[in-house]
């Protein structure tokens, strides 16, 4: 408290020279400009933001993409579609959507991830909200599973 009083006492001679009308106008303009610049429509036009209610997942477009581009994986397609739509319909999820796809090489795990990423975020896999982890690349050593869990925040 004494610190603030000392600061105020040091600034007092300079504050006396300020005209109240100009100071009030400057504060008002600065407040309005700050409010405008921090508005999500303006801010998100320059930086990638998490999609809001205006940019919800289009279920019919996702189903059409899966039907047209993914072949021979009808079980995986149904399970993934149900999981993603269930997550999308939750108005306030407690955790982010996380899918773990398993299978032999060449079965379409990365391809399915790419389709989902393109439907959820306009930037697709380049989005800062989409993370693709490959077990052989990101977690190569089976004996370090505990370390991997700590790094990923698992309990």
The confidence score (pLDDT) of residue 52 equals 59
Residue 99 lies in a domain: yes
Which of 50, 66, 90 represents a domain boundary (last residue)? 50
The confidence score (pLDDT) of residue 5 equals 64
Residue 2 lies in a domain: no
Residue 9 pLDDT exceeds 70: no
Q: Are residues 37 and 66 in the same domain?
A: no
The confidence score (pLDDT) of residue 117 equals 85
Q: Are residues 74 and 37 in the same domain?
A: no
Q: What is the mean pLDDT of residues 140-150?
A: 83
Residue 102 lies in a domain: yes
Q: Which residue has the higher pLDDT, 28 or 5?
A: 28
Q: What is the mean pLDDT of residues 77-97?
A: 85
Which stretch of 3-17, 33-47, 64-78, 93-107 has the lowest confidence by average pLDDT?
3-17
Distances (CA, A) of 105 to 18, 67, 134: 72, 21, 12
Q: What is the mean pLDDT of residues 78-96?
A: 85
Q: Residue 148 and residue 142: Cα distance in Å, rounded?
A: 10
Residue 154 pLDDT exceeds 60: no
The confidence score (pLDDT) of residue 12 equals 60
pTM of the model: 0.60
Which stretch of 40-49, 85-94, 123-132, 136-145 has the lowest confidence by average pLDDT?
40-49
Q: Are residues 99 and 81 in the same domain?
A: yes
The predicted-structure confidence for 25-64, as pLDDT tens digits, reads as follows: 777 777 777 776 667 677 777 777 766 555 567 888 888 8
Q: Are residues 84 and 108 in the same domain?
A: yes
Burial class (CB in 10 A: 0-12, 13-18, 19+), 115: buried
Nearest in space to 136 (alpha carbons), one of 96, 105, 94, 95: 105
Q: What is the mean pLDDT of residues 91-117?
A: 84
Q: What is the mean pLDDT of residues 99-103?
A: 84
Q: Answer for the pair 77, 66: CB distance below 8 angstroms, yes or no.
A: yes
Residue 155 lies in a domain: no
Q: Are residues 46 and 70 in the same domain?
A: no
Domain that holds residue 88: 57-130
Distances (CA, A) of 24 to 10, 28, 30: 21, 6, 10
């Amino acid at each position: 408290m004494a610190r603030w009083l000392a600061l105020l006492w040091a600034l007092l001679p300079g504050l006396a020279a300020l005209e109240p009308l100009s100071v009030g106008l400057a504060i008002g303009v600065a407040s309005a400009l700050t409010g405008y610049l921090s508005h999500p429509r303006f801010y998100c036009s320059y930086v990638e933001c998490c999609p809001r209610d205006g940019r919800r997942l289009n279920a019919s477009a996702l189903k059409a993409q899966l039907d047209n581009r993914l072949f021979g994986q009808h079980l995986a397609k149904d399970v993934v579609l149900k999981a993603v739509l269930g997550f999308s319909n939750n108005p306030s999820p407690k955790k982010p959507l996380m899918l773990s796809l398993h299978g032999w090489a060449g079965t379409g795990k990365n391809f399915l991830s790419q389709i989902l990423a393109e439907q959820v975020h306009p930037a697709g896999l380049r989005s800062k909200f989409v993370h693709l982890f490959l077990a052989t690349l990101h977690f190569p050593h089976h004996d370090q599973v505990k370390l991997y869990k700590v790094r990923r925040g698992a309990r």
